[in-house]
Structure 1
Amino acid sequence: MLLEKVKKSIRKFKMLNKGDKVLVGVSGGPDSVCLFYLLYQICKEWDLELHIGHFNHKFRGKESDDDALFVKNLAERFNVPFHLGEMDVRREIERLGLSEEEGARILRYDFFFKTAEENGIKKIALGHTRDDQVETVIMRMIKGAGLLGLRGIPPLREERNILIIRPLFEIWREEILEYLKEKKIDYRIDSSNLSPFYLRNRIRNELIPYLKENFNPQIKEVLANTAENLSLAYEYINKQGKRKFKAVAKIKNGKINILLEKFKKLPSILQREIFRIAIRELKGNLRRINYQHWKEFEELIQERPTGSILDLPRNISIEKDKKYLIFFLKESSHV
């Protein structure tokens, strides 16, 4: 039974505690609608206070507005607080210089975080499935990614002191559609999911079926299991990286000072993780930081003279002095 599988995942990954307030991100599509119905069923057992959040990107005109109305009606039917965010995302991402997919994701998550913060909510539940995991792994392989990226979507992620949980993490989309059909639950269909304009759609609708037919009928299971194994490896590296970060780094006045000689003696894989940890300490996430930036950081350490400064996206800078690597934000005073 789908509900039991989801409850098992919730317990396995320690996603929920009794009495939690949870913001459920609902687009109106099958995955997020199914997630809401399942969480609603365990409300009494877990003493949960559910809220529904919907972000209208206004990509599809009336269709987008109808999605918002559908989700609003869903919230009212179950007497759950409803939070609506709206923005002309195309105009905003042009201003920010972002791709449509990246910009929509950033603005949507920002809405979820702000809504949670304003309402004292510490957990955001999203409807990512095992299929999303497979599509993400393939997409990152195509674009290029290291261990962190190839582990795919984690079941839990903390940002801005809020925990993102994904209770459908171990569920296939096919199981969700069967459940909704069996329970006669309505949901919305996003017509843009059929558009070949988006890379994820081409992966979902063209590449994965081709791989299943011509290479391995179990390709989705193989990739999902690979991501799980890589995630376990990354968790170990991250744990060791945090331990070493405490040994080599000091945080003072908004700056992170890393002892240069001690850092240089560490294995490269731990150096990379400490680099990521330092960026997260400054900005809360690794948005817009990629492999090329790590290579520039390596060059700063190994080849560039004392006093050199490396500028990274989002106003992040790193200075190399005689004793320290100093991570700081350019808008802050740096003496």
Structure 2
Amino acid sequence: MEVAVRAFIKHTNMLSKGQHVVIAVSGGPDSMALLHFLWQERRHYGIHITAAHINHQLRGDESNRDEELVRDFCLKEGIPCEFAAVDVKGYAKRNQMGSSVAARELRYQALLDILKRVNGNCLAVAHHGDDQIETVFMKLVRSANALQIPGIEASRMIGDVPLIRPLLGVTKADILQYCVNYGIQYALDSSNTSTVYTRNRFRETVLPFVTHENPMLFKHIQRYHEWQSEDQAFLFSLAEEQLSQILIKKSEQIVTISRDQFLSVALPLQRRVIHLILNYLYNESARITSVHIEQTITMLRAENPSASLELANGAKLLREYDHCHFLLVPSNVKEQPPLMLDIPGKVVLHLGEVSANWVEQETKQNHDPHIQLDGDELKLPLTVRASCSGDRIAALGMAGTKKLNRLFIDRKVPRSLRSEWPVVVDSHEQIIWVPLLQRSRLAKVTSSTKNIVELTFYGDTKRLLEFQ
């Protein structure tokens, strides 16, 4: 085992001279073998060693015996050792989580506390090659996201602390034989055989079968994990470059990209661009699923210019022509209440304000934010409201009427703005004006007009017109 572990440490470059390594030691054969190996090799690597045992207090006397075994071993070998106890049951109950998740969170929290207390700068745990096989198969069977790293990393960061796994290059059988060779006593955790836990079921059923078919599978799996990790890192770096080119707007709760530019990106990078966006919004990758990535791509490829898609945890994708908005929280549609518009007077709206005034002469400003009307032909009072189902406008320059919804579509008004867009109607509910978009032929100013009303829209006209 020693040769294989040394080779793996060299291959991964996980240890460096001067490090103070805190080793998580449960008392089982894996962690006891790791402790013994690194203690024996400490001078070779030029490192300092501290053992750390966390008592989860889940198995009564058995847990206490594990602690005593670690304490006696460290005392005998002269290894510095730190101990801590955690209340897994209480923590799990308070946070409404399973005991295994609670134990993991508390264990790493306690280990990091110990590492800080002893001025350590590296944490070592005893996962081995069999654990790698189990993890890869478990993720293939259960993972909802095909872009996740397939197995266990040999080294990773917990905050600013490196966590290393020196035994990933050897099997459980190698470790047990090592313990026999050096007469290392260890404890066996009775919970490791319980079929309540998914990992144990894989260990008892899948692992014996696949390792019987190929005793060297652990090496192939480790290589598969490493190559996949490296390939993923490379592809994600390319995806980040593509995202920077198709990005239109980015804030804490919204990311907007160009659909046309997104579709010009290769499919493997499209998947990773979506993953990057959702990971940014969620601030974690656990909520991202392959289903949502596939649904997003399908929606962006569709011909429908407007669509929405509910994602995980309140996130939403909103497509408005070329703009695609990834929202962290669903966009709240604001209801625009009807407001009476006096002459002179003004009303304040979500998107701006509309004013009405009497003017003395025609100025030909019948476009964009201004229109002029024949005051004597108007059916007063005027009202500014939101659009309603079935609305039609007798558009100036056209025969008959046009559906307001069709006007929004033709002028490419984003769906998110349509419910807020102001509509000016007369007392008969006839549409007089849709600011920035269309006026009606009703109350048109002529040479015989004596009283002229001018309507003006004030708002962020540039922003509202940028979609056109």
The TM-score normalised by the length of structure 2 is 0.58
Name the CA shift for 1:193/1:51 in 2 (closer, same or farther; >3 Å).
Answer: same
Does residue 207 of structure 1 match 2:209?
Answer: no
Name the CA shift for 1:304/1:29 in 2 (closer, same or farther; >3 Å).
Answer: farther
Does residue 99 of structure 1 match 2:116?
Answer: no
Matches within 5 A, 1:282-321: 282=283, 286=285, 288-291=286-289, 294-295=292-293, 298=296, 312=313
Q: Deviations over 1:237-291 (max 9, x none)?
A: 3444565677788xx9x948756339946532331452476369x5xx64x4341
Alignment correspondent of 1:158: 157
Give the Cα separation in 1 of the matches to 2:75 and 2:244. Answer: 48
Alignment correspondent of 1:278: 280
Matched-pair contact (CA < 8 Å) for 2:23–2:50: yes
Name which of structure 1's ranges 36-45 and 218-227 shifts more when overlaid on structure 2: 218-227
Equivalent of residue 231 in structure 2, options 218, 230, 233: 233
Matches within 5 A, 1:83-162: 83-149=82-148, 151-162=150-161
Q: Deviations over 1:171-220 (max 9, x none)?
A: 1111111111011111111111111111111111123224556xx34584
The structure number with the bigger radius of gyration is 2
Paired AA for residue 167 in structure 1: P
What's the secondary structure of 1:260's corresponding residue?
strand
What's the secondary structure of 2:3's corresponding residue?
helix
What's the secondary structure of 1:139's corresponding residue?
helix
Alignment correspondent of 2:425: none
Question: Percent identity over the alignment?
Answer: 24
The structure carrying a bigger strand percent of its residues is 2
- C-alpha deviation, 1:8, in angstroms: 1.5
Paired AA for residue 36 in structure 1: L
Q: Deviations over 1:129-179 (max 9, x none)?
A: 010001111222222244454621011111201111111111111111111
Give the Cα separation in 2 of the matches to 1:120 and 1:240. Answer: 38
Matched-pair contact (CA < 8 Å) for 1:22–1:124: yes
Paired AA for residue 181 in structure 1: V
Matches within 5 A, 1:45-64: 45-64=44-63
Name the CA shift for 1:122/1:310 in 2 (closer, same or farther; >3 Å).
Answer: farther
Give the Cα separation in 2 of the matches to 1:77 and 1:246. Answer: 58
Matched-pair contact (CA < 8 Å) for 1:244–1:274: no
Paired AA for residue 291 in structure 1: T
Name the CA shift for 1:10/1:217 in 2 (closer, same or farther; >3 Å).
Answer: closer
Q: How many residue pairs get matched?
A: 315
Q: Deviations over 1:290-322 (max 9, x none)?
A: 4179559949x95767xx997749xxx789897
Alignment correspondent of 1:261: 258
Higher relative contact order (CA 8 A, sep 6+): 1
Paired AA for residue 274 in structure 1: L
Alignment correspondent of 1:35: 34
Does residue 21 of structure 1 match 2:20?
Answer: yes
Give the Cα separation in 2 of the matches to 1:311 and 1:318. Answer: 8
Name which of structure 1's ranges 225-234 and 174-183 shifts more when overlaid on structure 2: 225-234
What's the secondary structure of 2:4's corresponding residue?
helix
- C-alpha deviation, 1:88, in angstroms: 2.2
> Which runs of 5 or more residues in structure 1 are unaligned?
329-335
What's the secondary structure of 2:17's corresponding residue?
coil
CA-based RMSD of the aligned residues comes to 3.6
What's the secondary structure of 1:53's corresponding residue?
strand
What's the secondary structure of 1:54's corresponding residue?
strand
Q: Deviations over 1:40-69 (max 9, x none)?
A: 122112221111122211121110111122
The structure carrying a bigger helix percent of its residues is 1
Matched-pair contact (CA < 8 Å) for 2:52–2:83: yes
Name which of structure 1's ranges 124-133 and 149-158 shifts more when overlaid on structure 2: 149-158
